[in-house]
Amino acid sequence: MEYAPPVPRVVVLPERGTLFVATDFQGNVGDFDRMAGIFEAAVKERGDAVLVVTGDLVHGPELLEHEWPDYLGSYYRGDSKTLLIHARELERRHPGKVHYLLGNHEHAHVGGPVVSKFFPDEASRLEELLGDEGTRSARAWIKTWPFVAVAPRARLVMLHAAPHTKIDSRDDLERLKLEASNEFSFEDMASRSTLGALLWARTTSTERARAFLHAINPEARVAVYGHDVARGGYSIQREPLLCISTSFGCFDGDKLFLEWDLGEPAESAREVAVRGLRPLHPEAPRVYREG
Ligand SMILES: [Mn+2]
């Protein structure tokens, strides 16, 4: 058995600098590289930027252009293997400044349930491409990914899916085992297990969301996440929920990421959306995005 040091599941971000948040690349290397370029330009210019990607970097369609359905947005060829390489290189170039949060698609590689959006078993598909050594290395890396990032002064909490899970404190997340969710069926994931709800919930009530935020940080005001596709680039079902779509399922002109001053206290999801969302492809025409 290899010795596995405990890894923090809740990352605390600095109280100054520029925060970038992006979601759900699902093997879209072009979009990931563009986001990485925006982040690295900010590092060069200001020196204190931080990037949080809220999971689901991997698993995308591998279709030919003429097979591509309209509901998936702009065409791309899913290449999760290359995306993982680029993501790891970016993290190595900026130690402590780049945080990838665990998504349900990564969880499928380290104990979570099988995901089968584009292949019957998407984890097996990617592991076949990675080979034995690549798979071992990817799994070991993914096991260290946090679940949540908190920006205390900005009063933001980032996570993969809607903050529906019931926790009393950060320690509840630190204690979670990645494999524990296997005891639940796929359908039970979102409702019954803590990790399942954390990685699969598409929505929640204002009350549940505020309870989650409070457990992470009593001052937190807004939950920022992805997982679901917001075709117009973001959605606010209700406060304090800000769901952002940076890549997967959207047309290029609708894709959004968040840029926020870590020293600026957020008041509401609405305020953060209005002031902090930026187009990933400003030159591309909007399809569903308003404004
Ligand atoms: Mn997801």
Instruction: Give the distance (Å) from ligand 1 centre to CA of residue 230.
Output: 12
Q: Give dist(CA 147, CA 55) in Å, integer.
A: 9
Instruction: Give the distance (Å) from ligand 1 centre to CA of residue 47.
Output: 31
Instruction: Give the distance (Å) from ligand 1 centre to CA of residue 225.
Output: 10
Instruction: Give the distance (Å) from ligand 1 centre to CA of residue 227.
Output: 4
Q: What pLDDT was estimated at residue 117?
A: 87
Encode 48-74: b = buried (16+ Cβ within 10 Å), e = exposed: ebbbbbbbbbbbbbeeeeeeeeeebbb
CB 187, CB 233: distance < 8 Å: no
Q: Give dist(CA 196, CA 205) in Å, integer.
A: 17
Q: H-type helices in the chain, by residue range?
A: 29-46, 80-93, 104-107, 122-142, 170-174, 189-192, 194-200, 206-216, 269-276
Instruction: Give the distance (Å) from ligand 1 centre to CA of residue 282.
Output: 25
pLDDT tens digits along 217-250: 999 999 999 999 999 999 999 999 999 999 999 9
Q: DSSP letter at 285?
A: P
Q: What pLDDT was estimated at residue 114?
A: 87
Instruction: Give the distance (Å) from ligand 1 centre to CA of residue 168.
Output: 24
Instruction: Give the distance (Å) from ligand 1 centre to CA of residue 203.
Output: 12
pLDDT tens digits along 248-268: 999 999 999 999 999 999 999
Tokens matching residue 287 = 């399809």
Instruction: Give the distance (Å) from ligand 1 centre to CA of residue 199.
Output: 7
pLDDT of 185 above 90 = no
Q: What pLDDT was estimated at residue 79?
A: 98
Instruction: Give the distance (Å) from ligand 1 centre to CA of residue 1.
Output: 30
Tell me what the mean pLDDT of segment 55-61 comes to: 97
Across the strands, what pairs with 50? Answer: 19
Instruction: Give the distance (Å) from ligand 1 centre to CA of residue 232.
Output: 18
What is the CA 118 to chain-centroid distance, rounded? 19
Q: Positive or negative CA dihedral for 235, 118, 196, 81?
A: negative
CB 246, CB 23: distance < 8 Å: yes
Q: What pLDDT was estimated at residue 45?
A: 96
Instruction: Give the distance (Å) from ligand 1 centre to CA of residue 44.
Output: 31
- What's the pLDDT band for 139 if we cut at 50, 70, 90? very high
Q: Give dist(CA 107, CA 117) in Å, integer.
A: 14
3-state secondary structure of 244: strand
3-state secondary structure of 222: strand
Q: What pTM was computed for the model? A: 0.95
Encode 165-181: b = buried (16+ Cβ within 10 Å), e = exposed: bebeebeebeebebeeb
Degrees, nearest 5: CA angle 129-118-247: 90
Q: Give dist(CA 218, CA 149) in Å, integer.
A: 14
Instruction: Give the distance (Å) from ligand 1 centre to CA of residue 228.
Output: 7
Question: Of the given ranges (182-186, 201-205, 238-242), which has the lowest mean pLDDT?
Answer: 182-186
pLDDT tens digits along 6-36: 789 999 999 999 999 999 999 999 999 999 9
pLDDT tens digits along 88-125: 999 999 999 999 999 999 999 999 988 888 889 999 99
Q: Give dist(CA 204, CA 212) in Å, integer.
A: 11
Q: What is the mean pLDDT of the chain?
A: 94
Instruction: Give the distance (Å) from ligand 1 centre to CA of residue 23.
Output: 9
Q: DSSP letter at 181?
A: G
Instruction: Give the distance (Å) from ligand 1 centre to CA of residue 285.
Output: 26
Q: Which of 118, 137, 147 is nearest to 225 (CA)?
A: 147
